Structure 1
Amino acid sequence: MDPSDETPSYCPAPAAPAGRVPGPPYADCLECGKPTEYGVATPGVVLCPVCEWQDAQRTACSG
């Protein structure tokens, strides 16, 4: 099979993660309010490592 004959993927490439801004000061988690590993100027939703992991578990099983 010629590589040029391959059909494109049905799933789009994952979005690039927002740029991580170093801290301190560190942003508070939007779920639980604990400090995160992200600086306060980091764009987008910032979660602490525990909430990030739990969110990944929820979205991984959402089908």
Structure 2
Amino acid sequence: MDQTEQHAPDSSDLSYCPAPAAPAGRVAGPPYADCVECGKPTEYGVATPGVVLCPVCEWQDAQRTACSG
């Protein structure tokens, strides 16, 4: 490989564990959407797109998907 073809690593080159994703386009309530896991009210309005979880299920999901170092 020619020295002129080398490039500095950018964020797409690095391996990392991404943070849990929050629902895109959060919409304020009321009315509040129900959690898809347990059915309890969430902090998101009913018009929020994507999967919405209550605070407890969000925390448990983050614990399940967290990096183990």
TM-score (ref. length: structure 2): 0.69
Partner amino acid for 1:19?
G
Alpha carbons of 1:31 and 1:54: their partners in 2 closer, same or farther (altered >3 Å)?
same
1:5-16 superposed matches below 5 A: 6-9=8-11, 10-11=14-15
Task: Compare CA radii of gyration and give the structure with the larger one.
Answer: 2
Residue from 41, 47, 58 that aligns with 1:41: 47
TM-score (ref. length: structure 1): 0.75
Q: CA RMSD in A?
A: 2.7
Consecutive unaligned residues of structure 2, counting only runs of 5 or more, are 1-6
Percent identity at matched positions? 81
Q: How many residues align?
A: 59
Partner amino acid for 1:44?
G
Alpha carbons of 1:32 and 1:39: their partners in 2 closer, same or farther (altered >3 Å)?
same
Consecutive unaligned residues of structure 1, counting only runs of 5 or more, are none
Measured in 2, the distance between the counterparts of 1:53 and 1:16 equals 11
Q: Which residue of 2 aligns with 1:58?
A: 64
Q: Which residue of 2 aligns with 1:28?
A: 34
